[in-house]
Structure 1
Amino acid sequence: MIRLLHTADWQIGKPFGQFEPDEAVLLSEARFLAVERLAMLATEHQVDAVLVAGDVFDAQTVADKTLHRLFNALAGFPGPWVMIPGNHDAALAESVWRRAERLDALPANLHLCLRPEPLHLEAANLVVLPAPLTQRHTYQDLTDWFDLAATPEGALRIGLAHGSVEGILIEAIDSPNPIALDRADKARLDYLALGDWHGAKRIDARSWYAGTPEPDRFKANDAGRALLVELDAPGIEPRVTQLETGRYRWRQETRTLRVASDLDALLEWLGALGGDDVVALILEGSLDLAAHRRLEIALGQARGRARSLRVDTQALRLEPTVEDLDALAADGYVGEVIDELREQQGGSDGAVARDALALLAGLLDERREKRA
C-alpha cells in the first residue's frame, strides 16, 4: 500500500495587512508552523511522498529569509516532497523558484516540477503528472496532457494540479486556470491532487482539494486540513482521510441585540473566546446606555484573550432610556444634542453619531460621579 500526504495553498509570506501589526506577525508565523506540522504528520503516518499542489508562496517577492525558513521547515520529513507552482508563485522566467535555486535553498529531497513532464518515484512505483502554472492565469486546461501521458505498467498515476474544476466551484466557473471535471477518469488517474480552493473538498472519489493547512480567511470551507491518501493498487479507489493541521479558528459572527437576553448570550459567547480565535463580529440592533457600557467592557476583555477580535458596529444604535437621561441629568441644550444624535444614527453618518452619543454619555456620567 502507498500512502501520500496531499496539501496545498500554504501562502507563505501572506502579509495579513488588514490586521494589527502584532496580530499579522503571529498569523504569518502560523503558516510556517503549519508546514512543520505537515512534516510531522508525514513522518507519523509513514507516507511515501508529500504532494504540494501549488501556491506554496503568497507572492514572488517574498524575502530571501522567508525562502530559507520555508524549506528548512521541510526537514521533519526526510522522504520526497513534490511541489508545483500555483497562480501566486507561477514559474515565470524570473520567479521565486529561480531565486530559491540561486540561493541553494532547495533541499535534496524536494522534487520541484516546473515543467509538465512525468516524475517517476521509483521507490513507491508511482508517477506524478504535474501541471505547473507558468503564468498567473491561463485559459486552457493544463491537465490535458495527462490523458496521453505514458507511464510504466503497474505504476500508480497521480495528477498534481492547481486551478478551478469546471462546474464545481460556483465562484470560479468562469475563472482562469480551468481543470476538466472528468480529468481523473479521462487520464486514468489513481488520484488527482488539487490546489487553489482553500478548503478540503471532494470532487469525486479520486479527485480532492486539500485546502490550506492553516486557515487564512473567514469563509467557512473546511480549511486547516491535509489529506492522507492510501492507495492499495492501480485502479483501486483510494481511501482519503482528512487530518487536522490548523491552529487558529477563524470565526465570523453576526449578532442582533434587541432584548437583554441577546446581550447576555453575546457576553457569554465573548467570554469563551481564547488565544486561538480570530474573530470578525458584526453587531446590529439597539442598546440602552447601561447595556452599551456592559458591551464595551466585555469587548475590551475579549480583545485581550482572542488572537484577534474585529468588531463592526455600523448597524448598532444607541437608544438611551428615560432612566438613562434622568441619570445623566441631560436637560436643556445637552438634552437637545442627545436627541439630535439619536436621530442621526439612522443616516449616512450613523456610526459617527452613535460614537459621539456614547462619548457624550460617558462624559456626562463621569461628571455626575464626580459631583456625587
Structure 2
Amino acid sequence: MRILHTSDWHIGRSFHGHSTLDALRGVLEALVTQVRDHDVDVVLVAGDVFDSATPASGAYTLLSDALRGLADAGATVIVTSGNHDSAARLGFQSSLLRSGVHVITDPTSIGTPLTVADEHGDVHFYGIPFLEPVLLRSTWPGVRSQSDALGRAMELVRADQAHRGGRAVAMAHCFAAGVEPTPQLERDIQQGGLDIVPLSTFDGVDYMALGHIHGQQQLSPRVRYSGAPLHYSFGERFKPRGSWLIELDAGGLGAVEWLDLPVPRTLTTLTGSLDEILTEARYASHEADWINVEYTDALPQRDPMRRLLARFPYCAAVAHMPAASSVDDARTYTQRVRAARSEAELVDAFLAHVREGEGASAREAELIAEVVEERSHAEAHA
C-alpha cells in the first residue's frame, strides 16, 4: 500500500499581506499529480487544513477542489483537524464531501479506525484530531496536558489494534520530542507555552504521520513531519516543501521517499546598503522573488519600501539593520552630555546616542549650527 503524508495546508493564510490562495492551489494540484503518478492509495492530511477558525469562502472552495482532486486521482483521503482549524466547521464540511474523503474532528472517534485493504490484508488508519486538554477533562479524568491527551489517545489506538490485528497507521497534530529547534519553538519552550509529547507515546503503529511543524522532519524511521506545502515565512525559506511517500508491505513499514513540491516563488533575503540593493546588477536575478530586505545604512532611509518595490515588485518586508557602530566611545550618554561645550555639541551627542554612535553628518551639522544661531539671535533680542 502506498500512502502520501501531507499536513499544514493553512488555507487562507496571507504572506506579509499577500493572498496565498492561488499559489497554494497550484501546489495542491501538484500534490494531486503526485498521487496519480505514484499510484497512491491513501492520502493523510495531518491537521491545520485552514489557517483560521473562520475561513473565508474562497478557502472552502479551495479545500473542496483539492480533496475532490485527490479522490478523483484514486486515493482514499483522511483529514484530521489541527489547532488552527475549527473542528466544528471542518466537521460540517465533511458531510458535504464525496465518498472516499474522511474528515476526523471528534475525539470520541479515536480508537475507531478507517480500514483500507490491500493484497496483504487490512491497514487500519487512526486519526487523532488536535486535542485541547481543558475540553477533555470530563471525558478523560486526569488529563492535564496535551502530552497526557496524546498518551490517552494512543492507548485507545493500541488497545483497538491489539484486538483487530493487522497493520496500523496513526496521525496527530502536536509538538513531539526531538523536533529540530527553531527560534519560534525555542521561545515557546522558554515561555512555558509548549507541551512536548514524548516520542515513545507513538509506539505500537507502523507509521505515525504528524502535523504542526512547518518543515520536513524525521524523528524516527516511522515518526515524521511532512511540513507545510508552502513557505509561509522567510524563516522557512531553506526548508524543502513536499510530502512523504510511504510504502507498507506485508510486514509493516517498507520504503519511505520524499517527494518535492514546486515552490511558486523563491523567498530571498537581501542584505546591504539600500543604494546597493536598488542599483547593483548582482541583485537582478532576484527581481521576481519574494524579497525581504535588511538594509545596513547607518541611518534609516526615506520611503525604503516604495523605492524597493520599483525594482522588486514582490518585496514583502523591509527592516533597518544598521551595521555595528564603528565609534569606540565607552562614555555613557550622561558623560557625553556633560562634556559638550556648546549646544551644537549637545545635539551631536544626542544623535550619536540614538543612532548607534553616528553623530551629525556635515549637512546636519550645518543645519544644527543655523538653528542654534537663530535661537541665540532670538534670545538676544527678546
Q: Return the TM-score normalized by structure 2.
A: 0.68
Q: CA, structure 1 residues 183+237, in 2 after alignment: closer, same or farther (shift >3 Å)?
A: farther
Kindly provide the amino acid, as one letter, of the partner of residue 131 in structure 1.
I
Kindly provide the amino acid, as one letter, of the partner of residue 292 in structure 2.
A
Other-structure match for 2:267: 250
Q: CA, structure 1 residues 264+61, in 2 after alignment: closer, same or farther (shift >3 Å)?
A: closer
Q: Deviations over 1:29-74 (max 9, x none)?
A: 3223322221121111110111100000111101244213311123
Q: Deviations over 1:86-124 (max 9, x none)?
A: 111152xxx2224425xx532322111223121211357
Other-structure match for 2:159: 148
Contact 1:270-1:298 within 8 A present in 2 as well:
no
Q: CA, structure 1 residues 299+40, in 2 after alignment: closer, same or farther (shift >3 Å)?
A: same
Aligned partner (choices 285, 288, 292) of residue 272 of structure 1: 285
Contact 1:164-1:196 within 8 A present in 2 as well:
yes
Other-structure match for 1:344: 351
Q: CA, structure 1 residues 300+65, in 2 after alignment: closer, same or farther (shift >3 Å)?
A: closer
Aligned partner (choices 197, 201, 209) of residue 193 of structure 1: 209
Contact 1:71-1:107 within 8 A present in 2 as well:
no
Contact 1:141-1:178 within 8 A present in 2 as well:
no
Contact 1:141-1:180 within 8 A present in 2 as well:
no
Aligned partner (choices 29, 33, 49) of residue 36 of structure 1: 29
For 2:356 and 2:194, how far apart are their aligned partners in 1?
A: 40
For 2:125 and 2:254, how far apart are their aligned partners in 1?
A: 17
Tell me the CA shift for residue 347 of structure 1.
1.4
Contact 1:90-1:133 within 8 A present in 2 as well:
no
1:313 is aligned to 2:308: no
For 2:295 and 2:264, how far apart are their aligned partners in 1?
A: 26
Other-structure match for 1:369: none
For 2:265 and 2:216, how far apart are their aligned partners in 1?
A: 16
Kindly provide the amino acid, as one letter, of the partner of residue 290 in structure 2.
V
Alignment of 1:1-372 (within 5 A): 2-16=1-15, 18-19=16-17, 24-25=18-19, 27-77=20-70, 78=72, 79-91=75-87, 95-101=88-94, 105-114=96-105, 115-116=109-110, 117-123=112-118, 125-135=122-132, 139=146, 140-142=148-150, 143-145=153-155, 146-150=157-161, 155-170=166-181, 171=185, 175-176=193-194, 178-184=196-202, 186-187=203-204, 189-220=205-236, 222-255=239-272, 257=273, 263=276, 267-275=280-288, 277-286=289-298, 299-304=308-313, 307-315=314-322, 344=351, 347=354
Kindly provide the amino acid, as one letter, of the partner of residue 124 in structure 2.
V
Contact 2:242-2:258 within 8 A present in 1 as well:
no
Contact 1:90-1:134 within 8 A present in 2 as well:
no
Bigger drift between 59-68 and 231-240 goes to 231-240
Q: Return the TM-score normalized by structure 1.
A: 0.70
Alpha-carbon RMSD:
4.0
Kindly provide the amino acid, as one letter, of the partner of residue 73 in structure 1.
A
5+ residue gaps, structure 1, are 318-336, 361-372
> Identical aligned pairs, as a percentage?
24
Q: Deviations over 1:1-54 (max 9, x none)?
A: x211110000011134x43xxxx12x2332233222211211111101111000
Q: CA, structure 1 residues 108+231, in 2 after alignment: closer, same or farther (shift >3 Å)?
A: same
Other-structure match for 2:370: none
Q: CA, structure 1 residues 346+44, in 2 after alignment: closer, same or farther (shift >3 Å)?
A: farther
Contact 2:27-2:261 within 8 A present in 1 as well:
no
For 1:178 and 1:82, how far apart are their aligned partners in 2?
A: 25
Tell me the CA shift for residue 273 of structure 1.
0.8
Q: CA, structure 1 residues 346+168, in 2 after alignment: closer, same or farther (shift >3 Å)?
A: same
SS in 2 for 1:59: coil
For 2:246 and 2:79, how far apart are their aligned partners in 1?
A: 16
5+ residue gaps, structure 2, are 135-144, 325-343, 368-382
Contact 1:53-1:161 within 8 A present in 2 as well:
yes
How many correspondences in the alignment?
A: 313
Kindly provide the amino acid, as one letter, of the partner of residue 320 in structure 2.
T
SS in 2 for 1:67: helix
Tell me the CA shift for residue 152 of structure 1.
7.4
